[in-house]
Amino acid sequence: MGVFDNMKDKVSELVDQHGDQVGEGVDKAGDLVDERTGGQYADKVDQGQEGVKNALDGLDGQDDDIR
């Protein structure tokens, strides 16, 4: 098992335990970007938020951790 496999397992475990908080953090980060750019890239930011949430949520092979 390599270093990155170990990190993936740790991140997956954290997302399983704290999925709601992770989702809120991603949303807050996107809101900050929207604020700083005046909403100019809101569509792209929303797509990025969903992509990050889906990627993190799917680490364990199940889409059940982040709402």
Q: What is the pTM of this model?
A: 0.81
The dihedral formed by the CA atoms of 12, 10, 29 and 63, expressed in degrees to the nearest 10 = 0
Residue of higher predicted confidence among 35 and 56: 35
Write out pLDDT tens, residues 13-37: 888 888 889 999 999 999 999 999 9
Mean per-residue pLDDT of the chain:
89
pLDDT of residue 25: 95
Most confident of 43-47, 54-58, 62-66: 43-47
The span from the CA of 6 to the CA of 65, in Å, is: 19
> What is the domain partition of the chain in residue ranges?
3-60
Number of alpha helices (DSSP H) and beta strands (DSSP E) in the chain:
2, 0
